[in-house]
Chain A
């Protein structure tokens, strides 16, 4: 979707919206991050650590607000997408740290992050080409 973002937007909303593709190309990465962090967050809920799930979401929301407030007035809508993706990544890190802190046996994100990072880099590089 990163590579085809412009076409997807044009197909869904018409050619006038084609410039929104650059926003979708960034914003779409919030989805795999939410998929990953969901594992750790829902394990926290299942193990009776709902407050830790709340903490990670609260810090994530605050991160999105602060990053957005710092960047949107100068960089516009693309930076809003970057802020949201960065906040989703913050939630992943905090939820992951919380599960390890509580001794919950679960695969570490260290096993999947390198592959995901490579995919992100490849996608953005392919888009720029």
Chain B
């Protein structure tokens, strides 16, 4: 299968957008318990994107402009994140160029979480790829239609744990009962709400 040139260019633009993701500094704010800045960055990112779509995009506009809007919105939220990190957290930029020994230490710490995220993505999308390869046709459309609804709901799961993680980390540093008292009710609540939510 050969992709049209415009789709390839759009993929490259979205790939450039991925390069801006680390500058969102979400993990930094999360680790410091400053979730309000994570929320503000999301508002800026999606607000700018939606604003550009409504104000600039018109009939006959190129598909590529959507990728450009995505990059612009990421730049806006990244700038906000850097400004807030410097002003609120007194964070400083690392010295450039980075030392190889430091980069190696960072990679050794980060690779399990990074690879875990890759596997998580593979888990959720490998079925779609296999259906596309072996069944395709109507079945693929039906599967992806259901899959999109499930992935939209999965965003709530991601957001739940994204907000819970700082509290879990703090309780992990305390006595065991502290974690049990935090996660016990959460387990009970989510298992019953999740189960009955799917049923009703």
SS class, residues of chain B in contact with chain A: helix
Chain A residues with CB under 8 Å of B149's CB are: 8-9, 12, 24, 28
**Residue tally, chain B, CB below 8 Å to A:** 57
Chain A residues with CB under 8 Å of B128's CB are: 80
Decide yes or no whether B194 CB sits under 8 A from chain A: yes
Say whether, besides A32-B194, A53-B112, A61-B119, A43 and B143 are in contact (CB < 8 Å).
no
Whether B124 lies near A84 (C-beta < 8 A) is: yes
Whether A61 lies near B194 (C-beta < 8 A) is: no
| Distance in angstroms between the alpha carbons of A28 and B183 in the assembled complex | 23
For B113, give its contact among A54, A58, A68, A104 (CB under 8 Å).
Answer: A54
Whether B130 lies near A123 (C-beta < 8 A) is: no
Whether B134 lies near A31 (C-beta < 8 A) is: no
Decide yes or no whether A97 CB sits under 8 A from chain B: no
Whether B191 lies near A32 (C-beta < 8 A) is: yes
Q: How far is the CB of A71 from chain B (nearest CB, A)?
A: 9
Chain B residues with CB under 8 Å of A65's CB are: 122, 126, 130
Whether A77 lies near B119 (C-beta < 8 A) is: no
SS class, residues of chain A in contact with chain B: helix
Q: How large is the interface on A (under 10, 10 to 19, 20 to 34, 35 or more residues)?
A: 35 or more
Which residues from 25 to 48 on chain A have a C-beta closer than 8 Å to any C-beta of chain B?
A: 27-32, 34-36, 38-39, 42-43, 45-47
Decide yes or no whether B6 CB sits under 8 A from chain A: no
| Distance in angstroms between the alpha carbons of A77 and B131 in the assembled complex | 6
Q: How far is the CB of A21 from chain B (nearest CB, A)?
A: 8
For B187, give its contact among A12, A36, A81 (CB under 8 Å).
Answer: A36
Chain B residues with CB under 8 Å of A88's CB are: 123
Decide yes or no whether A98 CB sits under 8 A from chain B: no
Q: How far is the CB of B188 from chain A (nearest CB, A)?
A: 7
| Distance in angstroms between the alpha carbons of A77 and B134 in the assembled complex | 10
Q: How far is the CB of B185 from chain A (nearest CB, A)?
A: 9
Whether B113 lies near A50 (C-beta < 8 A) is: yes
Mark each residue of chain B from 131 to 171: 1 if its CB lies under 8 Å from any CB of chain A, else 0. 10011001111110111011001100100110011001101
| B contact residues vs A (CB 8 Å cutoff) | 112-113, 115-116, 119-120, 122-124, 126-128, 130-131, 134-135, 138-143, 145-147, 149-150, 153-154, 157, 160-161, 164-165, 168-169, 171-172, 176-177, 179-180, 183-184, 186-188, 190-192, 194-200
Q: List 19 A-B contacts (CB under 8 A).
A: A2-B198, A2-B199, A9-B149, A12-B145, A27-B147, A28-B150, A31-B194, A32-B191, A32-B195, A35-B194, A39-B190, A43-B168, A45-B165, A53-B113, A57-B119, A77-B139, A104-B176, A107-B188, A116-B194
